[in-house]
Amino acid sequence: MAAKEPPQQTGERPVLGIGMVGYAFMGAAHSQGWRTVGRAFDLPLRPALAAVCGRDAAAVRAAADQHGWAAAETDWRKLIARDDVHLVDICTPGDSHAEIAIAALEAGKHVLCEKPLANSVAEAEAMAAAAERARARGQLAMVGFNYRRVPAMAYARRLVAEGRLGALRHVRVCYLQDWLVDPDFPLTWRLEREHAGSGALGDLGAHIVDLAQYVAGERLVGVSALSETFVRERPRLVGASAGLAGADRAGADAAGRGLTGEGVAAAGVHGAGEPVSPDGLPASEGARRGPVTVDDAVVFTGRLASGALASFEATRMAAGRKNALRLELNGERGSLAFDLERLNELFFHDHTEPAASAGFRRVLVTEPDHPYLEGWWPPGHALGYEHTFAHQARDLVLAVAAGTEPSPSFADGLQVQRVLAAVEHSAADHAAYTPIDGRDLGEGATAARPVPSPLTTTPPPPPPPSSAVTA
């Protein structure tokens, strides 16, 4: 399909019309970013919130009114076909990413797609190939790994690139949430493999894989992993439907249960926050239950291309942890540490200083020459989670205006998908070290055989005696 006409001119800046598919938690966050970015940053294009799409006409119209979208659609194909939409922002469950993104690129639109890129390596490969074809026609595609856009993380990347840490030795990162601790939390699309692809691995692990590789400036080459599903059945929801509808279930009030975190706002909790069974009874009162088909938690180690060692933990079962993402890098010349709950701060240790005065020091990342801070407040005035989406929008608008490849690209998203596939492959094979090579894992690798549970399966056999080991 031929590319659309360039964005229309309004005053001195052309308008870049945004169309968004999905309007739940991520949709609200992306809306905030698009609504704010042109007011905070001096951009060559003016983002305009042209239309938002969801299956429930009344709900999507309410979301459009709340978040400032000019129009509402109930069919994503119609949204893509709109002449006033130049960029399609995909905020739906993973099972619809490939179809929508490929269709949008083929229709001559730019694309922003939430992470993880897809539910399988095969889908991600198709999306990356479509993005490469579209790139030749002038369309761009980016993955929404928003934590790259925390100013402290972008500054950490700058310090590593400048050699302030020297050769890396260790990278350790964890992402901890607790919204699944309650065994009566309902069975939502995020707990069904056919819609989510994986559990904590794709939801949280994708973030920390990308973030670790981004800050380190190098990629993982192999992993060894364990995973577990602690609660294997959960109450079913009334009216819970599949696929793209999962994006619309977030009209439910998760906040009513005191739940927070990336997975929760789209969880599909009904009414005043109480999960309800198909019989109309509260889920906690003996409702019919269904199987959980994704992981609750995953831990894995890895090796970076330089030989540095890495460790990762992602869980939605860490009681008391709401959205705790922590990262540390250790190098021959120094170390960096970051905690998302203190996202305006970076801790830096310069190991070349005299030991008597050396140590981690707190850097308040709010100075005008820190990344992204030119658009915001005087030094010392803190930013928040929502600003990462404005920064994401800024970077994509600048790339569209310049015609340059955005980062992270769909090729970057595919590489993260291959890491996730290798983690699942390793966990299914008793933590065997697994090189990160999509060709070795095969099509649909992230939908691999069920992961054996150490709570219910026989341990692997012991290693052979030393006399049997050959060079």
Model pLDDT for residues 27-58, shown as the tens digit of each residue: 999 999 999 999 999 999 999 999 999 999 99
pLDDT band, very low/low/confident/very high, at 242 (cuts 50, 70, 90):
very low
CA angle 429, 434, 436 (to 5 degrees): 140
* Mean pLDDT for the stretch of residues 454-469: 34
* Mean pLDDT for the stretch of residues 338-346: 98
Query: What pLDDT score was predicted for residue 157?
Result: 98
Query: What pLDDT score was predicted for residue 198?
Result: 95
Separation CA 369–CA 44 (nearest Å): 21
pLDDT band, very low/low/confident/very high, at 11 (cuts 50, 70, 90):
low
Query: Is 205 in contact with 314 (CB distance < 8 Å)?
Result: yes
Query: Is 312 in contact with 173 (CB distance < 8 Å)?
Result: yes
- Residue 113 sits at φ, ψ, to 5 deg, of -125, 130
Structure tokens belonging to residue 356:
């008597």
* Mean pLDDT for the stretch of residues 320-334: 98
Least confident of 148-157, 208-217, 241-250, 432-441: 241-250
CB count within 10 Å of CB 116 equals: 30
Separation CA 376–CA 391 (nearest Å): 11
Q: How far is CA 204 from CA 41, 124, 195, 270, in A?
A: 29, 18, 16, 24
3-state secondary structure labels for all residues of the chain = CCCCCCCCEECCEEEEEEEEECCCHHHHHHHHHHHHHHHHCCCCCEEEEEEEECCCHHHHHHHHHHHCCCEEECCHHHHHHCCCCCEEEECCCHHHHHHHHHHHHHCCCEEEEECCCCCCHHHHHHHHHHHHHHHHHCCCEEEECHHHHCHHHHHHHHHHHCCCCCCEEEEEEEEECCCCCCCCCCCCHHHCHHHHCCCHHHHHHHHHHHHHHHHHCCCEEEEEEEEECCCCEEECCCCCCCHHHHHCHHHCCHHHHCCCCCCCCCCCCCCCCCCECCCCCEHHHCCCEEECCCCCEEEEEEEECCCCEEEEEEECCCCCCCCEEEEEEEECCEEEEEEHHHCCEEEEEECCCCCCCCCCEEEECCCCCCCCHHHCCCCCCCCCCCHHHHHHHHHHHHHHHHCCCCCCEHHHHHHHHHHHHHHHHHHHCCCCCEECCHHHHCCCHHHCCCCCCCCCCCCCCCCCCHHHCCC
Q: Which of 114, 301, 141 lies closest to 196 in space, CA to CA?
A: 114
325 pLDDT exceeds 70?
yes
* Mean pLDDT for the stretch of residues 430-440: 81
Query: What pLDDT score was predicted for residue 287?
Result: 58
Question: pTM (2 decimals)?
Answer: 0.84
Separation CA 253–CA 259 (nearest Å): 9
* Mean pLDDT for the stretch of residues 219-244: 82
Q: Average model confidence (pLDDT) for the chain?
A: 85
Query: What pLDDT score was predicted for residue 363?
Result: 98
Separation CA 26–CA 80 (nearest Å): 19
260 pLDDT exceeds 90?
no
Structure tokens belonging to residue 219:
């990629």
* Mean pLDDT for the stretch of residues 169-182: 98
Query: What pLDDT score was predicted for residue 237?
Result: 82
Separation CA 276–CA 1 (nearest Å): 45
Separation CA 317–CA 265 (nearest Å): 16
261 pLDDT exceeds 80?
no
* Mean pLDDT for the stretch of residues 223-246: 76
Separation CA 64–CA 59 (nearest Å): 9
Query: What pLDDT score was predicted for residue 457?
Result: 34
pLDDT band, very low/low/confident/very high, at 192 (cuts 50, 70, 90):
very high
Query: Is 379 in contact with 363 (CB distance < 8 Å)?
Result: no
Bond into 454 cis (ω within 30) = no
- For residue 182, how far is the Cα from the chain centroid? 24
Query: What pLDDT score was predicted for residue 471?
Result: 26
Beta bridge partners of 52: 20, 72
Own/partner contacts of 95-99, CB < 8 Å, gap of 24 or more, are 95/119, 95/194, 95/195, 95/196, 95/197, 95/242, 95/243, 95/244, 96/21, 96/243, 96/244, 96/247, 97/123, 97/127, 98/123, 98/124, 98/126, 98/127
- For residue 406, how far is the Cα from the chain centroid? 16
